[in-house]
Structure 1
Amino acid sequence: MTKKMSLRAIVLAASCLALTSCYAAPAATTASTLPKLVVVLVVDGLPNEQVQRYRDQFGEGGLRRMLDQGASFSNAHQAHGVTVTAIGHSAVLTGAYPYMHGIIGNNWIDPVTKKSVYCTEDSNYTYIGEETKPSDGTSPAKLKVNTLGDELRYATGSRSKVVTVSGKDRGAILLAGKTGTAYMYMDKTGNFASSTYYMKQHPEWATKYLATKPQDRYYGKTWSALLPEAAYAGDAPEDLNLPKAGSHNRLPYSYYSESGEIDSGYYASLRVGPYLDQLTLDFARAAVEGENLGSNPAGVPDLLGVSLSAHDYVNHAFGPESKLSHDHLQRLDRMLAEFFTYLDKRVGMDNVLVVLTADHGFPNTPEFAQTQHLDAQRLDGDKLMAALDKHLEGKFGVAKLVQAWSLPNIHLDYALADQNKLKREDVETAAARFLLAQNGIVDAFTRTQFESGAVQGTHINTLMRRAWNRESSGDLMVITKPFWYFGTGTSGTSHGSPYAYDTNVPLMIMGKRWIKAGAYGQYAEVVDIAPTLANLLHVRPPAGAEGRVLTETLR
């Protein structure tokens, strides 16, 4: 007997059908909606002020292309208090701060051995075909979280390829994450090599490329000014920053060796100037072709990370106000234009998403800053630590309470304090008060303050709290005054502070299918890059990511 459905049953059935339609699983993302290749460019030591100061001199296809066709943030920052290469590179694709990702410096003091360790050293692995010292960077073991590239490979069943290349091992390794593949420049041979962490031997394409010895073509060449002399009229006088013994600070800048032959001295000299970056980009091209990046047969996105190291070396030696730094950035701009043209022909820029940022900025040399009526000096850290130890001995009657340091981190000998029945907090406080009384020091924080949550209130305090890692950082952290830095000598400059000249870096994203072009003045952080890319690639954000998705830039 056939039963008639009641009106209530009909309505209920229709409702269920409607709900099923509303909550059905969304259609799988098609490969055509995603970038075929994500290119992450990190220009080591590029302050955003240099991009703004020299932007009118850029060519059409490099940095100007990113400024005009991409989203560019003028108020983007490496938002942690110790602005050095390893920490800045770690931030880019982890989206995390040092207290979480564990990379607290290029070097730091091991809390157990009290000896200096390097951020990417790992004695379990060696460079492939190259001499390897115990402190050389060979793996990401000290990186405590994963990266955007790791999440991309996880989401695609390891079918996506993640390849990074840099003039510095830490630049490549910390971008590659745990499951990517890193290649780095070898100072002694001029080769790019990977390590046994990633593979047993280089792939055939890399071996063939290295056999051509492209690094040798610059021997005897000179780095000359790219622009007419009038273009450099606003740069600092060249005699303001005297060169170190055996070097020079003028263009043309020649590349040779004291032996008169191509040797390790020549290969090391390539770091200062445009040729290291050209070699890096050339190897990146070889990787694109050798690994078929951007044309993945599985139809999934690939990621190429390129860290361009030479600008950092130039700025350290001559300062961002110098003619050499000015010219180097112009040459790098033209190199990027050629690289983008290559990618357009190889992959098609409509299929490529490009991010460009920096690991840290740079202060001017103290000599230049003083001409601007600023209180700027170099502060000898070793002498400061000796004075601190002497002060604590005088106060507590115990020698060697300062056990080790890798500034801005200072490690106290708590065991010695306990043995002499001294309260740890009393020793910390006495040390901090002494440091605050020293010329060139503006603030000092103690382990007790960090662990109790007392480091609050100001923006600088927030940056320092992010930079302090409970397991690895010191028992004290110090901050120099603005325009001061820890160092010696009479030339050059260095970074590492929480001040805007060190934190404000370029942040540009270009890819017209996904990004709305424009100049953005709102605050952004480098840790926003990883969550934004995760959103665009439809993958999980890295584990330690704290940045935001830059939704204002998304189509």
Structure 2
Amino acid sequence: MKINSSPFRSWSCAVVLFSCVAASQGAAAPASAQPKLVVVIVVDGLPNEQLQRYRDQFGQGGLRRLLDQGASFSNAHQAHGVTVTAVGHAAVLTGAYPYQHGIIGNNWIDPATKKSLYCTEDTAYTYIGEKTNPGDGTSPANLRVGTLGDEMRYASGNRTKVVTVSGKDRGAILLAGKSGTAYMYMDATGNFASSTYYMPSHPQWVQRYRAGRPQDRYFGQAWTPLLADSAYALDASNAFYPDKEGVSQRFPFLYSSKSGKPDTEYFKSLKTGPYLDELTLAFARAAVEGEHLGRNPAGVPDLLGVSLSAHDYVNHAFGPESKMSHDHLQRLDRMLASFFGYLDQRLGMDNVVVVLTADHGFTNTPEFSRSRHIDAQRLDGKKMIAALNAHLSAKYGIDELVVATSLPNVHLDGATIEKRGLRRDDVEQAAARFLLDYAGVAQVYTRTQFDTGAVVDTRMGILMRRAWNRQLSGDLMVVVKPYWYFGTGTTGSSHGTPYTYDTNVPLLIMGKRWIRPGDYGQYAEVVDIAPTLAHLLRVRLPAGAEGRVLTEIVR
């Protein structure tokens, strides 16, 4: 896939880079040169533009520390076309694109049953000490390749410890890989729990932590703005965030419940606001202490993955242009400063490498975009598919030729198409032509186009081809117009497209002894993180890795 005058890499280039990485790993450095702990932080739903727009308001010890003392890439991307949480998290430590790692969405259609499958569901395992509902995420079974953490454990004879924590099960499980240990926030109880995939019961340190019930401490507390009113002067008007069913969409936000005590209603409400991230980082500290991360008696590096989920929930509710999103990022900056201060005291940051990125960005709310004279809408996917089925029925005399959807993927009834003697390519093209005339649709790709290599090497074509998995993806992939997204609500925003507001994410790497600090304008991808860390740690690349070593930042 050779592309002239483009930041995208050719497949041949990837092979050369792989060879160069392998050669560079042959020169061994003293064992003392390795970091004691690698901390990989994923801020769910953080567009790079927010990091840049608000950087002057950050304190000294958190995001500003990463920006000043680390390497910062302004042109870094989640370089695949379906920019959602699971896909982005899978990319971070596999270094792979969806066509290889197999995580093609938060949900997708099971090819055998034609029913929706959740990215980390596995009925063979349950949460430890918590109720497990159908479809809950309990294992990495659907992840088809390994991660950096898996390679670290392989290289050390399983002596390396890999621990991950997140407000979402998919955030923790897809960072932990096949052989790490994931802990996730439980909506019903506010606890963090692992699953029986990893262990039969929680270790003592987790049991002690849960017994303290830190999740109850925010009951009756309010989320209020951190900064002076003048700091939010450029944020969007409250007119774009109308109240919903009597629920206030304005500061202050009170965390309580109708029962008057901590319960499921309260624990779920904590997710939209700063306190879920506070709890996640508190559990991460407990994991450092309980697992002695960074003080491995075998003298090998450990890995801590922290996925901070709340920014995604805030942006979904209010949009990235909102005062709420702005304030949440400022609060997250202060939380990270406290966490880095803890690592300083515990291990000394000279012994730690920190990576911070995001799983995807965000588009603005359609109401805000339209106020700037931009065509923006929410596209009702059910209505679109109903119209498509009606069109195909009129053309072919067959009802319900679309048998399942998990947008942007659309699955056709292949058995009926074959039985009626129709050409699959003809039906795909007929469906694509109809959808291309549907309001809000920018592009449609077909299975035949992907299979035959007929997708043009535009930026969008490359990203969508990387997002398409032959065994799992649909017969059609539908791309909405810029600033549109699939949705039926009347408030908030979303993500999931190949446009830069969804792909351009922060990429910050800090490690005084290993990383050259500075602002870097070179094109970079999130899949570059795993190869770069593998190079620093002198371990084998994950099997599906296609990123490059960011040699420009390596000392």
TM-score when normalising by structure 2: 0.95
For 1:527, what is the secondary structure of its paired residue? helix
- Aligned ranges 1:72-471 → 2 under 5 Å: 72-471=72-471
Supply the AA of the counterpart residue of 1:127.
Answer: Y
Question: Which whole-Å CA distance do the structure 2 matches of 1:258 and 1:437 have between them?
Answer: 48
> In the aligned structure 1, how far is the partner of 2:81 from the partner of 2:441?
15
Letter of the aligned partner of 2:126 in structure 1? T
The separation in 2 between residues aligned to 1:99 and 1:239, in whole angstroms, is 41
Tell me by how many angstroms 1:241 deviates.
Answer: 2.0
Q: Which residue of 1 aligns with 2:547?
A: 547
Deviates further, 212-221 or 414-423:
414-423
Residue type of the alignment partner of 2:256: Y
Deviations along 1:35-69, one digit per CA (max 9) or x if unpaired, are 00000000000000000000000000000000000
Per-residue CA shift, 1:458-501, capped at 9, x if unaligned?
01100000000000000000100000000012100110000000
CA–CA distance in structure 2, aligned partners of residues 504 and 445 of structure 1: 23
Q: How far did residue 29 of structure 1 move?
A: 4.4
Q: Distance in 2 between matches of 1:422 and 1:27?
A: 59
Please tell me the residue identity of whatever aligns with 1:256.
Answer: S
2:530: which partner in 1? Answer: 530
In the TM superposition, residue 249 of structure 1 has moved relative to its aligned partner by 1.6
- Does the 8 Å CA contact 2:28/2:538 hold for their aligned counterparts? no
Q: In structure 1, what is the equivalent of residue 19 of structure 2?
A: none
- Counterpart for residue 68 of structure 1: 68
Query: What displacement does 1:405 show?
Result: 0.2
Distance in structure 2 (CA, Å) of the matches to 1:156 and 1:27: 18
Distance 1:414 1:345, change over 3 A: same
Name the counterpart of 1:8: none
- Report the secondary structure of 1:350's partner residue: helix
C-alpha contact 1:205 1:290 (8 A) present in aligned 2: yes
Q: Does the Cα contact within 8 Å between 1:355 and 1:508 map onto a contact in 2?
A: yes
CA distance in 2, matches of 1:184, 1:485: 28
- Structure 1 residues 157 and 395 mapped into 2: Cα distance closer, same or farther (>3 Å)? same
Q: For residue 265 of structure 1, what is the amino acid of its counterpart?
A: E
CA deviations over 1:368-387 (Å, ceiling 9, x no partner): 00011100000000000000
Letter in 1 for 2:133: K
Q: CA deviation at 1:535?
A: 0.1
Question: Take 1:525 and 1:162, find their aligned partners in 2: how far apart are those partners?
Answer: 23
Which residue type is aligned with residue 87 of structure 2?
Answer: I
Contact kept? 1:241, 1:367, Cα under 8 Å: no
Q: Distance in 1 between matches of 2:201 and 2:128?
A: 6
Shift of 1:322: 0.3
Deviation, structure 1 residue 252? 1.1
Q: What SS does the aligned partner of 2:54 have?
A: helix
Give the Cα separation in 2 of the matches to 1:98 and 1:342. Answer: 35
Q: Which residue of 2 aligns with 1:490?
A: 490
| C-alpha distance in structure 2 between counterparts of 1:551 and 1:28, whole Å | 16
1:158 match: secondary structure = coil
Counterpart secondary structure, 1:120: coil
Moved more, 295-304 or 421-430: 421-430
Match of 2:510 in 1: 510
Distance 1:244 1:281 in 2: 30
The one-character-per-residue Cα deviations of 1:264-285 (angstroms, maximum 9, x if unpaired) are 0000000000000000000000
Counterpart in the other structure of 2:36: 36
Q: Distance in 1 between matches of 2:27 and 2:318?
A: 55
Deviations 1:10-33 (A, max 9, x none): xxxxxxxxxxxxxxx989643310
1:454 counterpart SS class: coil
Whole-angstrom CA distance in 1 between matches of 2:132 and 2:273 = 25
Aligned mates of 1:154, 1:112 — CA distance in 2 = 34
The answer on whether the counterparts of 1:388 and 1:435 sit within 8 Å (CA) in structure 2 is yes
Task: After TM superposition, give the deviation of residue 234 of structure 1 in Å.
Answer: 0.3
Query: CA 1:26/1:431 → structure 2, altered by over 3 Å: closer, same or farther?
Result: closer
Give how far 1:166 is off. 0.1
* Secondary structure at 1:153 match in 2: helix
Q: Distance in 2 between matches of 1:273 and 1:426?
A: 49
CA, structure 1 residues 328+26, in 2 after alignment: closer, same or farther (shift >3 Å)?
closer
| Deviation, structure 1 residue 456 | 2.2
Give the conservation status (yes or no) of the 8 Å contact 1:146–1:543: yes
- Distance in 1 (alpha carbons) for counterparts of 2:26 and 2:220: 61
SS at match of 1:411: strand
Distance 1:456 1:535 in 2: 33
Partner Cα distance (1:354, 1:27) in 2: 23
Q: State whether residues 249 and 324 of structure 1, in contact with CA within 8 Å, keep that contact through their aligned partners in structure 2.
A: no
- Any idea what SS the aligned residue of 1:165 has? strand
For residues 43 and 455 of structure 1, the distance between their equivalents in structure 2, rounded to whole angstroms, comes to: 32
Larger Rg over CA atoms: 1
Change (3 A) 1:26 1:496: closer
Identity %: 73
| Aligned length, in residue pairs | 531
SS state at 1:304 partner: strand
SS of aligned partner of 2:335 = helix
Q: Counterpart of 1:404 in 2: which secondary structure?
A: strand
Distance 2:435 2:198 in 1: 44
Contact 1:224 1:251 in 2 (8 A): yes
Partner SS state of residue 72, structure 1: strand
Are the equivalent residues in 2 in contact too, given 1:242–1:490 (CA < 8 A)? Answer: no
Instruction: State the partner residue of 1:3.
Output: none
Query: Which deviates the most, 239-248 or 363-372?
Result: 239-248
| Counterpart Cα distance in 2 of 1:353 and 1:533 | 9
Write the distance in 1 (CA, Å) between the matches of 2:260 and 2:239: 28
Q: Deviations over 1:255-314 (max 9, x none)?
A: 001222211000000000000000000000000000000000000000000000000000
Between the aligned partners of 2:401 and 2:477, the Cα distance in structure 1 is 16
Q: Structure 2 counterpart of 1:473, which letter?
A: S
> SS where residue 470 of structure 1 aligns?
coil
> Structure 1: how far apart are the matches of 2:513 and 2:387?
59
Matched residue type, 2:119: C
Q: Which secondary structure does the structure 2 equivalent of 1:145 belong to?
A: coil
- Asked whether the 8 Å contact 2:273–2:311 carries over to 1, the reply is yes
Partners of 1:247 and 1:32 lie apart in 2 by 55
* Whole-angstrom CA distance in 2 between matches of 1:522 and 1:244: 43
CA-based RMSD of the aligned residues comes to 1.0
TM-score, normalised with respect to structure 1: 0.95
- Between 253-262 and 320-329, the greater mean CA deviation after superposition: 253-262
- The CA distance in 1 between the partners of 2:30 and 2:218, in whole Å, is 45
Distance 1:187 1:383 in 2: 31
Distance 1:297 1:149 in 2: 18
Contact 1:376 1:482 in 2 (8 A): yes
The DSSP-based 3-state class of the residue aligned with 1:530 is helix
Amino acid at match of 2:494: S
Letter in 2 for 1:41: I
Q: Which runs of 5+ in 1 are unaligned?
A: 1-24
In the alignment, the residues of structure 2 paired with residue 405 and residue 311 of structure 1 have an alpha-carbon distance, to the nearest angstrom, of 28
Q: Say if 1:243 and 1:491, in contact at 8 Å, map to a contact too.
A: no
CA distance in 2, matches of 1:371, 1:519: 33
- 1:240 shift after superposition: 1.7
1:215, 1:291 → 2: CA distance?
21
